[in-house]
Amino acid sequence: MALDNDRIGVCVIGAGRAGMIHARNFARGVQGARLVAIADSHAPSLLEARRQLEVQTGYQRYQDALADSRVGAVVIVTPTSLHREIVVAAARAGKHVLCEKPMAMDVAECDEMIDACRAAGVTLQIGFMRRYDESFCAARERVACGEIGDVVLVKSLTHGPSVPQEWMYDIRKSNGPLAEVNSHDIDSARWFTGSEITEVYAIGGNFRCPQAREKYPDFYDNVSMVCRFEDGKQGFIDGAVSVGYGYDSRMEIMGTSGVMFVGRREQDFVVACSTSAGIVQPFVKSWRTLFLHAYEAEDRDFVSCIREQRPARVGGRDGRMAVAVVNAGNRSILQRSPVRVDPDPSRARPVPGA
């Protein structure tokens, strides 16, 4: 393992929106680790990242970062379609891996990544940072202690403010908003129920992105998905992009003897009242602020897992199961019918008789 004064050398690959959050964490200091390099194929982004992070070493080719002997671990935050290639290369180079969600494009890719990390004996962690968020963790603990009885239904939503980038409109290439925003909801639903999703029925529609309608008729900016779990529990996930007003991620867990609500919308909990505007409660603008501490805890735990040689709290199997559900959801939208979630993507199929 690459250690400097007993610290693990980290390189963040992909210095975009999410990459810079991880990179700032490691630059500011994660105990037991040190940011030694940053990699981004886009020269101006790399330059700006190096300037902001005050890190000497920058690589335009991720392969050069993997050849750097000071790098013991990488955080992979490139567009999703590149995750498989870079994770497999990193594992083969003996680097521990924290890979952002969605893990990959399909289950076959996930399997390659899991196998490569297992063969190399390196940690593979997936970036479901809600599992490190204080409110989500506290709620999960209380549900597990039986405070609301047995879980019956999990509702989870994520609504994001941004207008999608062009690559996201082709859902066959991007896996669409189900992958980009709802991967988190799928993972949280599995986490809270302790059960796997076996069947989904999803509908999608494009309500806010008229610019994409003609060229990408399958693109949806709003999705609603009903889920059946293997033990009979029920789930409902909804996702939206391009909402404009802010970032919203909430869960409602209904049990046999109660209900629990998780997540917040308000910025800093300040409510202002005035005669002109009435009651005004600012919306959280971005996941970047809402989950800042969760990202820090996630990065800390990644380093601890490596140092203590224990399995990641959120591993390859979690990433893989979420990808299987995303793929089934997109099939359901395109086929307009319920789809069984089959961990083998070539066999995911409509429910007979539907």
Which residues contact ligand NAD by CB under 6 A? 13-19, 39-42, 45, 62, 77-80, 82, 100-102, 127, 129, 180, 287
Q: How far is the CB of 218 from ligand NAD (least distance, A)?
A: 19
Give 104's contacts (C-beta < 8 A, 6+ positions apart): 80, 83, 84, 87, 110, 113, 319, 323
CB 171 within 8 A of CB 329: no
Residue whose CB is less far from ligand NAD, 121 or 244: 244
Q: Residue 66 CB, nearest distance to ligand NAD (Å)?
A: 11
Closest distance to ligand NAD from the beta carbon of 80 (Å): 4
- 98 versus 148: smaller Cβ distance to ligand NAD: 98
Q: Which is nearer to ligand NAD, 18 or 324 (CB)?
A: 18
Q: Cβ contacts of residue 275 below 8 Å, gap of 6+?
A: none
Least distance (Å) between residue 100 CB and ligand NAD: 4
What is the smallest separation between the CB atom of 293 and ligand NAD, expressed in angstroms?
A: 13
For residue 160, the minimal CB distance to ligand NAD (Å) is: 9
Q: Which is nearer to ligand NAD, 137 or 152 (CB)?
A: 137
Chain residue whose CB lies nearest ligand NAD: 16
Q: Give the nearer residue to ligand NAD in terms of CB position, either 78 or 327.
A: 78
Indicate the residue among 160 and 204 with the shorter CB distance to ligand NAD.
160
CB closer to ligand NAD out of 41 and 57: 41
**Least distance (Å) from ligand NAD to the CB of residue 170?**
15
